[in-house]
Amino acid sequence: MVDLDPLTGEPEQLRSAYSCFPSGVTAVCALSGGRPRGIAASSFTPVSLNPPLVSVCVQNTSTTWPRLRTLPRLGVSVLGAGQDTTATRLAAKHGDRFADVPWQATPDGGVLVHQAVLWLDCSVHSEVSAGDHIVALLQVHGLRSHPDRVPLVFHGSRFRQLVEV
């Protein structure tokens, strides 16, 4: 039997524990008012093949998600190794998140970040309230993958690269 440390209710204790799980880093972006808007999300998960669905989790305090969720299309870019500066910019609370971030728009208004490992053209399928986050289910309408590119990984509260063994 393994004894577990009691959960004290401190968010930092959970954040530290959750950081033991490595995840990819995504950019969820779209054109709004002719300008690119977007967020970084490391809580991305493929959900279903039929219908094709993925999920991202967004903090309830996000001021960008309420703008994005109403748009007809969202671009989801799974960022590649070396795009940690892009991820940091897109996670910023202030300033121009797209400064020095090369991107292109899809015909329906999704925004895709150049050099990503995977691009998905999505729309919001549904949302589920989950504590201090919203789980957004996104329906995939199109994709382009680059399996030869190495993904950016977030683990231990920092960006890392995969190493072949």
* Domains by residue range for the chain, with CATH: 22-159 (2.30.110.10)
What is the CA angle 97-152-17, rounded to 5? 95
**Structure confidence at residue 97 (pLDDT):** 93
Place of tokens 């683990």: 155
| Cis peptide bond upstream of 51, omega within 30 | yes
Rg for the chain (alpha carbons), in Å?
Answer: 16
pLDDT means per 10 residues, the chain with 165 residues, are: 78 86 94 95 94 96 95 97 94 91 96 97 97 96 95 92 82
Structure-block tokens of residue 118 = 């995977």
